[in-house]
Structure 1
Amino acid sequence: MATEPFSSSVTSYCFRLRPGQDLKKELIYYCQLHHLHAACVVSCVGSLNKAHLRLSNGKDVVEFQGPFEIVSLSGTVNSTAAHLHISISDFEGKVLGGHLMDGSEIYTTAEIVLLENRDLTFQRENDGHTGYKELLIQKRG
């Protein structure tokens, strides 16, 4: 069953990360700095020197040594948490993807566009069916 649909006005935020920065941590930090409560990644292009991923249905974080191109990044983020999926490619064009975890380090750049849903908040709560902290969308008030 899908959750109730919400509509909201949006604001876009565009910024760039630099070599050595942690992609996931910096996204959360950016939301803290700008008081973003319900943001989603619209676009991210750049590269990683190393990637820390939790692969599909896995429990452990796996480190991959790059450099890698960021092919795609999508998900939700706020000032306390993020649920992000990333696809990266190596020098042969082989693509790998999974849950983006802390420790994924920018190689040359990451050019990012976020949209903030100004009338909403994103929270995470434990879901007894999945065993994970899942998205809870609420009207901001």
Structure 2
Amino acid sequence: MNVVAIRLKPNEDLRQTLKNFALNQNIKAGFILTAIGSLKQATIRFANQEISTVLTDKFEILSLNGTIANTGVHLHIAIADQQGKTIGGHLDDGCIIYTTAEIVIGIAEDFTFLRTIDEQTGYKELEIIPNLRLT
């Protein structure tokens, strides 16, 4: 496993920046190891909802989990407001960094992650392709 780290700065879009980072770094099978920071806007799609909800306030990023690859990202986020109330769901475009986001990404060299339509769910789901090693 390789490990890379990225720090996002104010006004960057969390999801878009991670997508671009995966493309630029040619990450084929990555996953979030740890992430903390803050948002001034959160765009989250809650469970079983078709559209995302935009929240405008200051939030702490408590957790960011999921997969990241040059073929797409699937991330969930947990955030807390100024009273410590926690909310979370599917990370969408429009999560705007307030002061910073510090993210550490693990990269599995033995796999390639693809996003393909799953006939059962109708959504683009994770397809894990083992990389063949030549010995």
So what's the TM-score if we normalise by structure 1? 0.90
Per-residue Cα deviation, 1:38-62 (whole angstroms, up to 9, x for no partner)? 1000100000110111110000011
| In structure 2, C-alpha distance between the alignment counterparts of 1:130 and 1:115, rounded to whole Å | 28
**Structure 1: runs of 5+ lacking an equivalent:** 1-9
Of 20, 35, 48, which residue of structure 1 is paired with 2:26? 35
| In structure 2, C-alpha distance between the alignment counterparts of 1:80 and 1:137, rounded to whole Å | 12
Matching of residue 106 in structure 1 with residue 97 in structure 2:
yes
**Structure 2: runs of 5+ lacking an equivalent:** none
For residue 127 of structure 1, what is the aligned residue in structure 2? 118
Per-residue Cα deviation, 1:112-131 (whole angstroms, up to 9, x for no partner)? 00001112110011112222
Aligned Cα RMSD in Å?
1.0
Instruction: Find runs of 4+ consecutive structure 1 residues off by over 4 angstroms.
Output: none
| In structure 1, C-alpha distance between the alignment counterparts of 2:26 and 2:42, rounded to whole Å | 27
| In structure 2, C-alpha distance between the alignment counterparts of 1:21 and 1:80, rounded to whole Å | 21
Of 47, 72, 78, which residue of structure 2 is paired with 1:56? 47
So what's the TM-score if we normalise by structure 2? 0.94
How far the C-alpha of 1:66 sits from its partner, in A, is: 1.8
How far the C-alpha of 1:28 sits from its partner, in A, is: 1.1
| In structure 1, C-alpha distance between the alignment counterparts of 2:96 and 2:131, rounded to whole Å | 33
| In structure 2, C-alpha distance between the alignment counterparts of 1:25 and 1:119, rounded to whole Å | 25
Per-residue Cα deviation, 1:4-30 (whole angstroms, up to 9, x for no partner)? xxxxxx100012000000101111111
Identity %, equivalent residues: 42
| In structure 2, C-alpha distance between the alignment counterparts of 1:132 and 1:85, rounded to whole Å | 16
